[in-house]
Amino acid sequence: MSKIRRILSLTFIMSSLPLFTLFAQRQLEALNRGIVAVNLGKTNVYISWRLFGTDPDNIAFNIYCSTDGNAPLRVNLTPITNSTDYIDTNVTISKPNTYTIKAIINEKEIDTTGSYKLNANPPPVNYLSIKLQSPQGYSPNDGSVGDLDGDGEYELVIHQVGIGRDNSQSGLTTEPIIEAYKLDGTFLWRIKLGKNIREGAHYTQFIVYDLDGDGKAEIACKTADGTIDGKGKVIGNLNADWRNKDGKILSGPEYLTVFDGLTGAAIFTTNYIPPRGNVADWGDAYGNRVDRFLAAVAYLDGIHPSLIMCRGYYTRTVIAAFDFVDKKLKSRWVFDTDSKYSSYCGQGNHNLSIGDVDGDGKDEIVYGACTIDDNGNGLYSTGLGHGDALHLSDIDPDRPGLEVFSIHERPTHPYGVSFYDAATGKIIWGKKSSDVGRGLAADIDPRYKGYEMWAYGEGLTGLWNVKGETISPQRPRSCNFAVWWDGDLLRELLDRTYISKWNWQNSTETRLLTADGCASNNGTKSNPVLCADILGDWREEVIWRTIDNKELRIYTTTIPSQHRIYTLMHDPQYRLSVATQNVGYNQPTQPGFYLGEGMKTPPRPNITTNRINITSK
């Protein structure tokens, strides 16, 4: 064979291989099976568990139940192969039942980690209750999850909020508090950020993630003089008070701290990057624009997670990337619009998304209307400006790569709504509006392949498909959040304290769940504490606080599904969207592949869940 023919042959073979074979594996957390069991009433119990992204295609499952401490008995007659849920119809509810799962690979049963104990006479409710120790005057607000102790089960990290203020407003606030709880309600720790961290949606962005690959998640956030960690240790000067007469904090040291996930102890503290510098350099002198923060996690080398800390989006934007190595933060790069990137100024959102937009195995930062490459260089700026909502996914599965659906505040161009190629920023279509405040992308109509999109703004009506065509003159009333809840592949609508199904035949909504006794967060944003796949099969749980702020309720679906999909937490882009959900204006999760009607088999994620101590990068 000639050299040219050999090259052409190799090129054809490589182009025929799945993309992930060309890249190194990403390090993700090692989870257990996440078993959950819910009393449906009488003698019925709904059971759900995780399929891993690393499981072989031919895996099957058996369910075992131990009643009142007796030897476990198999529940299912034949191995379960087409789903990861089951209804046990022969349960003695009056006695405690413990469920376990065993995987079957090549006809051999394998013990798996994790079990679920259904206590005797539980009420027939589809939520788990976590009792809180909320401080007086505080309520649980945004939350996140991470495996803090390395046992394969998620723990909850909660931002407790008292009195907060927007950056544009004067006045004192309460001191932000972060707490951690196990799913059984065990209180782990409390971090008091102190008087020199102002409370508000744009100030404290906290990241919960296993940053060093040791199998246990850390917590990272901005700190200051007087921050007290989970062990009672003070960071900086306890007595310093940098608040001015307006309650703003425009002087004094700023820190970035990584805390131990299990104890809340400060592991490492450094100066915060991006630094404040001259307040007026960010667009005003009274502290509105200088203290607009975002944060994220990204796999910038395609293998290890890096911490992303950001400042500014209305004018100047600075983004700093760190690696957590040997229990220390090491700077990877700093992106600054004041350094050769003037076209990127003013392009940030109140949120951001992370994903591999250019297909090189490494993550980019979609920072509103501009995107930063994995190496810290600007990839492109659309110039479309600031907005309140952003969705990154394979929204149109018939187009190669990922797409972005975004909205824009008071645009000076024709695009109040934009839909564009995530790799290049090329506009695919847009909708004209003088101001748009809400926008959502989710597959809610099976007649049209891909996501549907809608927005609320001046002059906007109807529901659009991926071509930008109006497919219904009516649109859902909800434009805040979405959740995978029932048994099909379409997504449901999540708003305030209820979940609804869009009836595409008559453009109406049907209520599927009302979380009585619960409350939503963040005013008109009406967010839950968290919406993510943290238990059971691939569908998502919703966490709301109760009205009295004394409890969190983790709602999980009990609707059977015949779709077997690996846990969405093993899709790297989805996992990162969970880590950033608490940042700024909360956005719903989005996977890196198309999940909807007419979808192909999800691509096997290129991940490793081994617990490896990283000593160098």
Chain centroid to Cα 172, Å, comes to 30
Q: How far apart are CA 114 and CA 441, in angstroms?
A: 35
Structural contact between residues 197 and 203, judged by C-beta atoms closer than 8 angstroms? yes
pLDDT at 120: 86
Burial code (b: 16+ CB inside 10 Å, e: under 16) for 505-515 equals eebebeebbeb
Q: How far apart are CA 112 and CA 578, in angstroms?
A: 25
Burial (0-12, 13-18, 19+ Cβ within 10 Å), 589: buried
- Consecutive H or E run containing 13: helix 3-16
Enter the tokens of residue 120. Answer: 């005797």
> CA–CA distance from 217 to each of 234, 269, 306 (Å)?
22, 17, 13
What single letter denotes the amino acid at residue 439?
Answer: G
pLDDT at 474: 96
Q: How far apart are CA 252 and CA 608, in angstroms?
A: 42
pLDDT at 114: 86
Chain centroid to Cα 580, Å, comes to 5
Q: How far apart are CA 129 and CA 44, in angstroms?
A: 20
Residues with pLDDT less than 70, the chain: 1-22, 610-617
pLDDT at 5: 34
pLDDT tens digits, 31-82: 999 999 999 988 999 999 999 999 999 999 999 999 998 999 999 999 999 9
574, 580, 581, 582 alpha-carbon torsion, rounded to 10°: 160
User: How many CA atoms lie within 13 Å of 23's alpha carbon, on the beta-carbon side?
Assistant: 22
pLDDT at 308: 98
pLDDT at 616: 30
pLDDT at 19: 41
Residues in the chain: 617
Helices (H) and strands (E) in the chain, counts: 2, 44
Q: Is the peptide bond before 414 cis (omega within 30 degrees of 0)?
A: no
pLDDT tens digits, 102-152: 999 999 999 888 899 998 888 899 999 999 999 999 999 999 999 999 999
Q: What is the pTM of this model?
A: 0.95
Burial code (b: 16+ CB inside 10 Å, e: under 16) for 284-314 equals eeebbbbbbbbbbbbbbbbbbbbbbbbbbbb
